[in-house]
Amino acid sequence: MKQYKDTIPEILVKNPVKRRSPLVIFGIRSSIVIGFVVIGVILRFVMGYTMVSEQGLLWTVIPVVLGLSIVLSVRKMNEWERAIIFRFGRFSRVKGPGLFLLMPLAEQIASIVDLRIRVSDFTTQNTLTRDSVTVTVDALCFWLVWDPEKAICEVQDYEAAVILSAKTALRSAVSSHDLTLFLEKGDVIEQCIREEVDRKTTEWGITVQHIEITDIQIPEALQDSLSRLAQAEREKMSRVLLAEAEIAIAERLTQAGQLYSGSDTAFSLKKLTILNEGLKAGNSMMLVPNSITEGLDSTDVFGLEALHQIKQEKQKEHTDESNSNR
């Protein structure tokens, strides 16, 4: 998993929610109150009231109270955020996104929940498979909160609960399957883990969308054994395919032999085809079985008998000329 973390930014895996610090929030709210106080002082001087008069004191207090009310009651949530509001310690409502009002001193925001999809990494170390092989599995969990009320009120720390549930489900899946099945059908294992984790987290208002296994670490000694096993399996498959090809060829040759045995013409044409292929190769000498030449001599396919007769006639003419000269 170390190599995987090097390629993915840590902010993607941890998925933190950026918020303003308490000092920044206090500074903004103090600036709002001070701004209203300054506005009240300016209005008091514009209206011509002195500080000691009732009207002057009223124009000073009212802006301060208005500023404090805005600071204590007006809140803003982003599009992906939901605010869990408690009234006198009891759950009241879920608000957001946008602006909303709180009842000063009676209501407070207990927590802010992020509704975006989160990515969390988890690992099961030194876990035994069903065939007693020790493996270390790294995985990612993609999940989101769909009910902020349940996520806050039903479980103390829903982020840690999701990670622990996913880790437990992954360990259970590893121990209940063989290593071969785990390597070959990883998508099926991932689906089983997702369904098991989602069954638990649904009660908390959380949905697990996907579980992805990123790495399976196997002992080095076992890796060598698996490599030799895979090589032997490939060699076995190659020999099986070669034997199947030989069987198919033998079956076709048997069918061809049966056809040639029932037709002399077809057999003769096959002989001619063999001779033709040999002549196409451009060989100056070609060895031909006697069974082929004997069958072709009677038909004089290549004109050998005609050439022999021409040769005899020429010899006869030459003999006649010799006799006449004498």
pLDDT tens track for 141-191? 999 999 999 999 989 899 999 999 999 999 888 888 888 777 788 888 888
pLDDT-wise least confident of 2-16, 20-34, 237-251, 276-290 = 2-16
Domain spans of the chain, in order of start: 2-114, 118-218, 263-308
Task: Collapse the DSSP code of 135 into the 3-class scheme (helix H, G, I; strand E, B; otherwise coil) and give the result.
Answer: strand
Contact assessment for residue 159 and residue 120, using Cβ atoms and an 8 Å cutoff:
yes
Report whether pLDDT(116) > 50: yes
CA 254 to chain centroid: 50
Question: CATH code for 118-218?
Answer: 3.30.479.30
Taking the whole predicted model, whether its pTM rises above 0.75 is answered as no
CB atoms within 10 A of CB 72: 16
Residue type, 30: S
To the nearest whole percent, how much of the chain has pLDDT over 70? 73
The pLDDT value given to residue 152: 92
The pLDDT value given to residue 104: 83
Strand bridging mode 81-87 / 98-101: unpaired
Peptide bond into 104 cis (omega under 30): no
Long-range contacts of 75-78 (CB under 8 A, 24+ apart): 75/99, 75/100, 75/101, 75/102, 75/109, 76/100, 77/112
Task: Tell me which H or E stretch contains 214.
Answer: strand 206-217
Q: Could you tell me the sign of the dihedral formed by the alpha carbons of 153, 155, 160, 161, in that order? A: negative
The pLDDT value given to residue 286: 62
Contact assessment for residue 43 and residue 56, using Cβ atoms and an 8 Å cutoff:
no
What is the pLDDT of the chain when averaged over all its residues?
78
Contact assessment for residue 169 and residue 193, using Cβ atoms and an 8 Å cutoff:
yes
Q: Could you tell me the sign of the dihedral formed by the alpha carbons of 268, 274, 279, 284, in that order? A: negative
Over residues 238-261, mean pLDDT: 85
